[in-house]
Amino acid sequence: MKERIRKEMLGKLRDLPSRERLRMENELTKAVCSSREWKASKTIGVTWSNFPEIDTHKIIVKGLEEGKRMVVPYSGKDRVMTFHEYLPDTAMLRSKFGIMEPADKSNPVPPQEIDLLLVPGLAFSETGYRIGFGGGYYDRYLASYDGQTLSMLFPFQLFKDPDWEIEAFDVPVQKLLTAVF
């Protein structure tokens, strides 16, 4: 079931007309950066997005411009994810999953220092449960993370009555920001 939904959502994300995508991404960037959670946060965790994901690069730049500490994930061994500070001169390398990650993994930022985590996903229930990309990294990380969580999504990624199984280890995202079609 989850694999079918992943495939369907990836197809819809890839097929989204670029003009619509850009408009909705700009709307979501503004919504995130004007949210109460963003304003109250000093350190923000965010994935370095790859197409067809919702673009996070403008959010990273905006955070740096506002003097926020931006941290990006590294997908380590045994499906353990750590976050590392990102600055404009941070060297990034493509992982085995095709994700851009920090080259230097020597100074992970402890979860309790991250105020807000922008959680990626492909499909979301109205109660914040999500289908991610299949690695389980975020679910493991969220199990011991106590800060604020927020996800950005396009309207077709929101499911009113999801037909996927919510599993014991699934942790819902606290706030969903959905673009308007």
Query: SS3 for 178?
Result: strand
Instruction: Tell me what the mean pLDDT of segment 145-166 comes to.
Output: 91
pLDDT of the residue at 114: 97
Contacts of 55 (CB under 8 A, 6+ apart): 25, 29, 49
Instruction: Tell me what the mean pLDDT of segment 35-45 comes to.
Output: 96
pLDDT of the residue at 181: 65
pLDDT at 83 over 90: yes
Instruction: Tell me what the mean pLDDT of segment 7-26 comes to.
Output: 94
- What residues does each domain of the chain span? 2-178
pTM of the model: 0.91
pLDDT of the residue at 121: 94
pLDDT of the residue at 35: 95
- Work out the percent of the chain whose per-residue pLDDT is above 70: 99
Q: What fold, for 2-178?
A: Rossmann fold (3.40.50)
Instruction: Tell me what the mean pLDDT of segment 44-70 comes to.
Output: 94
pLDDT of the residue at 73: 92
Instruction: Tell me what the mean pLDDT of segment 87-115 comes to.
Output: 89
Residue 30, H or E segment:
helix 18-33
pLDDT at 135 over 80: no
pLDDT of the residue at 105: 86
Residue whose C-alpha is closest to residue 125's, from 169, 165, 94, 76: 165
